[in-house]
Amino acid sequence: MLRLAIQKSGRLSEDSLNLIRECGISFLSASYKLKTEATNFPLEILYLRDDDIPGYVQDGVADLGIVGQNVLVEAGFPQLQVEGLGFSKCRLSLAVPRAAAYNSTEDLQGVNIATSYPQILGAYLTERGVKANLHTISGSVEIAPSIGLAEAICDIVSSGSTLLGNGLREVETVFRSEAVLIANQNLSAEKRELLEQLQFRMQAVRRARR
């Protein structure tokens, strides 16, 4: 039996559940439950916080997971990615106050930047030879400049309306993300075979959607 970890409640939850259902896999889902077993495929679904999913799959507590690539790479396990799933597309971007001057990444030299993604941002800046002061905060990153915590931020953007509403201007894209299927790297031959069946169905669903 394969164990698949998906987000319990959040932006990935509904699309993850829909994808599994469209693969022809049936299961009962009750919002208070933390796991369910499929009735017509050897699959158990675990409902977790998205941040916990990469670690659980890396450790083999879950065999598979569906998570944002941003969370996967920030957790330091990019090697677990099996394939992109095409939903929850977003980008991790740098933004500064609307009126602030900005020409290039160089302008961030020595600047205080608030972010929930210090690993991805740190690697991006290092590659460009920029040394900034990263302040890691776990939420409400967009208010950091207005309360004097930082001169710039780096956060997830989709429509851009949150940045706009907080008087910020997107200046650079650091990372593009979508939901991805991830798998433990030491699956048994039996589980690997089941993963292949599941991937075959997921790819058929995506082809049919186009």
Minimum Å gap between C-beta 160 and ligand PRT is: 5
- Choosing among ligand PRT, Zn ion, none, which partner's interface includes residue 177 (Cβ < 5 to 8 Å by kind)? ligand PRT
Indicate the burial class of 187 (C-beta count within 10 angstroms; 0-12, 13-18, 19 or more): middle
Considering the complex, state which of residue 180 and residue 194 has its C-beta at the smaller distance from ligand PRT: 180
**Helices within the chain (DSSP H only):** 13-22, 53-59, 69-75, 118-127, 161-165, 189-209
Q: Of 95, 90, 123, 92, give the one whose Cα is nearest residue 108.
A: 95
- C-beta separation of 79 from 37 below 8 A: no
Q: For residue 170, what are its two tokens? A: 């997107």
Least distance to Zn ion, CB of residue 165, Å = 21
Cβ 98 to ligand PRT shortest distance, Å? 15
68 lines the binding site for ligand PRT (CB under 6 A): yes
- The three-state secondary structure class of 81 is strand
> In the complex, what is the shortest distance from the CB of residue 114 to ligand PRT, in angstroms, rounded to a whole number?
12
Residue 157, beta-bridge partner list: 91
For residues 91 and 173, what is the distance between their CA atoms, to the nearest angstrom? 7
Q: Which amino acid is at 130?
A: V
Binding residue for ligand PRT (CB under 6 A) from 123, 135, 160, 169?
A: 160
Asked if residue 163 lies in contact with residue 169, where contact means CB atoms within 8 angstroms, the answer is: yes
90 lies in the site for ligand PRT, by CB under 6 A = yes
Query: Binding ligand PRT by CB under 6 A: which of 27, 51, 112, 206?
Result: 51
Cβ proximity to ligand PRT: between 44 and 51 the closer is: 51
Binding-site partner at residue 201 among ligand PRT, Zn ion, none, CB < 5 to 8 Å by type: none
Binding footprint of Zn ion on the chain (CB under 5 A)? 50-51
Binding footprint of ligand PRT on the chain (CB under 6 A)? 7, 10-12, 49-51, 68, 70-71, 88, 90, 155-162, 177
